[in-house]
Structure 1
Amino acid sequence: MIYDLSLVIAYDYAEPVNDARHILRVRPRLEPGQRPGPVKLVVEPRPDEQIRDRDFFGNALDHLLILPAHEALEVRMSTQVEVERPRPDLGRTPALGELTALARASRDVSGAGPMHFLGDSRRVRISAPFADYARDAMADGRPAGEAVFELAAQIKDEFDYAPGATKVDTPVEEAFAKREGVCQDFAHVMIAGLRAVGVPAAYVSGFLRTVPPPGKPRLEGADAMHAWVTAWLGPQVGWVGFDPTNAMLAIDDHITVAVGRDYADVAPIDGTVMTAGSQTTSHSVDVKPVEHATA
C-alpha cells in the first residue's frame, strides 16, 4: 500500500516567544516493511538553525533553533510512504514463559534490543494491578503472540475510546482506573501489562489510514497522530505491532514515525520556549491511499 501523508502541528502563544528550541519527530521511519519517500518539512517562522539527527532508537530528529520573537509556530510535513508488512504467524511464537527467558537472556544492546523494554520507563511503571490485568488474557503455555493479541482485544472491549477524557500527561494509572481514554492511554496500559508479565513492549507513534476499505468502518484514532504497541516475540519473529485501540495487528494500515519506551521518547515535538504566557496547540493529519488521493 502506498500513502500520501501530511501533518500540520500549530502553536499559538499568548505572549511573544523570544527564544525557542525544539526537537521534531515527524519523519516516517525507514524500516523493514516501510519505505518513505522524500520528506518536505516546512517550519514557520523559518529556523535560524536546523540539524537532522537520529536518536538511540533510530528515530529521525530535527533540532530547531528560532531566535526572533514570534507569536505562532507551524510545522508542516508531507511525504509518500510505501507500506508492505508480512502478516506474522502468531501461533508459531514461543510460549510466554519461554519468551520471557529468551528476552532476559538477550545480549542485544542496540536500540531494538528487548532488554530496554522490560522495565520501568518515564511514563510507565510496572505494578501488580497491571500484571493481574494482563494475566487475565495471557494464559501461560499458549503462544505468546496469540496471548498478546488477546490482551489488545481485551483493552478494546473493556476501555471506552473517549477523546477529552484524558490529557497528554495523564498518568497511565488514572486511565487504567477510569477504563477510558485515547490511543496513547491504551498503548501505555498494554505496555505496562506486557512488561509486568515479562514481555518486552515498546510504544509506537505514527499514523493510521483515514480512508477505510469499502464496507469497513473507519478506524478509531485516525484523525490525529496515532499510538500503538510493538511487542518482541522472540529472536525468530522479532517485533510485531498490536493496536489495542482497534484490536488489530499493526500491518498495512499503520505508518510508523517513532518508537520508544513510552510517549516521552517519541513526542512529535519537544523543546523549550522563552515566554511569559500560555499556549494553545492543534494538529491535523491526512493519510490517503494513493488510489483514493485527489489532485
Structure 2
Amino acid sequence: MPVLTIEHVTHYKYRQPVSFGEHRIMVRPRESYDQRLIEARLDIDPAPADLRWLHDVFGNSVAIARFEGRATGLRFHSTVRLEHAPVAHHQIDVEAYARCYPFTYASEDMPDLLRSIERQHHDPYRVVDTWARGFVRNDGATDTVGLLSDMAMRIRSEFTYVPRHEKGTQTPIETLKKRQGTCRDFAVLMIEAVRALGFAARFVSGYVYNPSRGEGRVGGGNTHAWVRVFLPGSGWVEFDPTNGIVGNRGLVRVAVARDPYQAVPLSGTWAGMPSSAAGMDVSVEITLEDAVEPPTSARQAVAGSPATC
C-alpha cells in the first residue's frame, strides 16, 4: 500500500501590518478504508489565539483559526502522512439492476441522494442536457460505468486544462462553449451533466499525485478537484475528468460537498489598507514512498468487460 507525505503551504503577504479575521481551513484528508492517516500536523504563523476543529455537515474535518494582533504575513503549513489504497476501475461492482442506464435508485437511498441529484445551474436552453444525452445510446443499451467513463474521458481529450488562481468556477455552459477550464470547472460540468441524467454526484477537493513514473497527472502543485457519483453496489465512485481517472488511483480526498463553495481549502478575512495585499504563494509537494505499477487505461478495462444491456 503506497505511503504518501503531503506538504501544503499557503503564504499570504502584506506590505504593512494588517489584522486577520476568522479563517476556515480544510486540508486534513478524510479517513476511510482506502486512505488512512498516519500523521497530520497544521502549523500557522503567526500562531492563532484560538484553533478548534469540527466536522461539517458532510463529515469533512475543518479547522477554525482566530487571531489577535497584526502582521505582514500569514502562513499555513499542513503536513500529512497517510496510507493510500488505490481502488481501480475494474473493482467497481455495480448491482445488476443498475449496470445499464437508465435505472432508478433504491427507495431507501433516494431521501439521502436527492440533494445530490438536484441541479445547481440554470440551463434554459438545455445545453448541458443535450451534451449529456449524447453519451446515451439510442437503442437503450447503455452501460452505466461505460457512460460515466466516456464522459470523463471526453472532457479530458476534448477540453484544454488552463490553470486559474482566481476563486470561483465557470458555469457548465461557459465551459462547454470555451472548451477549456480548470479542474474545478471540469468537475462542475461533469456533475451537472450526470445530474441531468439522474445520477447523484458530489464535488471533491483534494490532492492528485503520480502513482508511478509512467503516469502523468494534470492539476498538481495545488489542490485538485474531481467528481464522485453514487453507484449501487460500490457507493460513491471517483471520476476525474481532468485526468480521465476512474477510481481513486492518484487521488486523495480532503473534502466532499454538494457544491464547490462548500469545499474551499482555505478562506478567511483580513483588515487593513487595500494596497497592503502583496500576493499569495501556494505550493503542494507530494512524496510517494512506495510506488506501484500503472494499470491498463480506464477505457480499455471498461471496454474489456462491458455489462450486457
- Asked if these proteins are the same fold (TM beyond 0.5), I'd say yes
2:134 — aligned with what? 136
Q: Which whole-Å CA distance do the structure 2 matches of 1:125 and 1:83 have between them?
A: 37
Does the 8 A contact of 1:204 with 1:257 survive in 2? yes
TM-score (norm 1): 0.87
Counterpart check, 1:246 vs 2:243 = yes
How much does 1:15 deviate? 4.9
* Cα distance change of structure 1 residues 55 and 144 upon mapping to structure 2, 3 Å threshold: same
Q: Which whole-Å CA distance do the structure 2 matches of 1:96 and 1:266 have between them?
A: 30
Q: How does 1:70-109 map to 2 (within 5 A)?
A: 70-89=71-90, 90=92, 92=94, 94=98, 95-98=100-103, 101-102=104-105, 105-107=107-109
Q: Which whole-Å CA distance do the structure 2 matches of 1:244 and 1:66 have between them?
A: 38
Does the 8 A contact of 2:88 with 2:247 survive in 1? no
Q: Which whole-Å CA distance do the structure 1 matches of 2:225 and 2:133 have between them?
A: 23
How much does 1:120 deviate? 3.3
Q: How does 1:106-255 map to 2 (within 5 A)?
A: 106-107=108-109, 113-121=112-120, 124-125=121-122, 128-139=126-137, 140-164=140-164, 167-172=166-171, 173-209=173-209, 211=210, 213-214=212-213, 216-234=214-232, 236-255=233-252
How much does 1:96 deviate? 2.5
Which one-letter code corresponds to 1:188 in the other structure?
V
Three-state SS of the structure 1 residue aligned to 2:130 is helix
The sequence identity of aligned pairs, in percent, is 26
2:266 — aligned with what? 269
Does the 8 A contact of 1:32 with 1:85 survive in 2? no
Which one-letter code corresponds to 2:43 in the other structure?
V
* Cα distance change of structure 1 residues 125 and 117 upon mapping to structure 2, 3 Å threshold: farther
How much does 1:108 deviate? 6.5
Give per-residue Cα distances to partners, 1:45-103, cap 9 Å, x unaligned.
100010100101110000010121122111001121111143354574512321xx216
Does the 8 A contact of 2:228 with 2:236 survive in 1? yes
Three-state SS of the structure 1 residue aligned to 2:22 is strand
Which one-letter code corresponds to 2:105 in the other structure?
L
Give per-residue Cα distances to partners, 1:151-180, cap 9 Å, x unaligned.
10111111011224x843242232332111
* Cα distance change of structure 1 residues 175 and 168 upon mapping to structure 2, 3 Å threshold: farther
Computing the radius of gyration from Cα coordinates, the structure with the larger value is: 2
TM-score (norm 2): 0.83
RMSD between aligned residues: 2.2
Q: Which whole-Å CA distance do the structure 1 matches of 2:194 and 2:152 have between them?
A: 10
- In the comparison of the two structures, how many residue pairs are matched? 280
How much does 1:232 deviate? 0.6
How much does 1:213 deviate? 1.7
Does the 8 A contact of 1:106 with 1:115 survive in 2? no
In structure 1, list runs of 5 or more residues that go unmatched.
none
2:49 — aligned with what? 48
* Cα distance change of structure 1 residues 91 and 136 upon mapping to structure 2, 3 Å threshold: farther
How much does 1:19 deviate? 3.4
Give per-residue Cα distances to partners, 1:257-289, cap 9 Å, x unaligned.
111112201110122322332532221111111
Which one-letter code corresponds to 1:80 in the other structure?
R
